[in-house]
A and B are shown apart, each in its own frame.
Chain A
């Protein structure tokens, strides 16, 4: 079974530039997550999709970050304009259909995109 794919693996940009990350989840996984992992910290959820609908984007800085999952499969995360503090690894994860009650479906993580903002 193929895992979660992300591209690019590395990106270096200057502040105020724009950048986009792409994620392809595991086939059949309805739920997709984007996390931001700053060096020395644990991952922080930015946005969570169930199919093509947003379940939770409470920690997404909406003035500069946006994400979409138009066909309920692939997803893109965009930063425009980037700030120095956006330097981090951006992780994509997917799981089977979101279960809130009665159990939990494991999240599978991609390798991440390391963003450096100069």
Chain B
């Protein structure tokens, strides 16, 4: 069974500083990896995904994530944080299709990002 770990419940960063939100995963075979963001009282919004190819993936709002297969990690990064980036961030994993199984998305428990002015 696949799983996702987001080791930090909360990350605080000063506006303008770089930010990192950590994610590690466990899945059989190769993974599809995702980051979603959730603002208060709103649904999840897709930020970026890794399927194959370049290990550095660029997404919406200046976010990027780096896939590291040896460390089974997919950390979310942004060079310069904005106050408006404050939200709840979820990492998710799904295995590549191999002919059997449900292939549902499994989400981490989320990391609350607070960007301090």
Question: Could you tell me which A residues sit within 8 Å of B by CB distance?
Answer: 3-4, 40-45, 48, 55-56, 58, 91, 93, 100-104, 106-112
A residues in contact with B102, CB < 8 Å: 48, 55-56, 58
Main secondary structure of the interface of A (DSSP, over half): loop
Given A42-B90, A111-B43, check contact A101 B109 (CB 8 Å): no
Known contacts A58-B102, A103-B51, A104-B49; A42/B108 CB under 8 A = yes
B4 near A: Cβ within 8 Å? yes
Quick check: B46 and A91 within 8 Å, CB to CB? no
Q: List 25 A-B contacts (CB under 8 A).
A: A3-B43, A4-B43, A40-B109, A40-B110, A42-B90, A42-B92, A42-B107, A42-B110, A44-B107, A45-B104, A45-B105, A48-B102, A55-B102, A56-B102, A56-B104, A58-B102, A100-B103, A104-B32, A107-B46, A109-B36, A109-B43, A109-B44, A110-B43, A111-B41, A111-B42
Q: How far apart are the CA atoms of A55 and B101 in the complex, in Å? A: 10
Residues on the B chain within 8 Å of A100, using CB: 97, 103
**In this complex, what residue of B is CB-closest to A106?**
B46
Question: Is B45's CB within 8 Å of the partner chain A?
Answer: yes
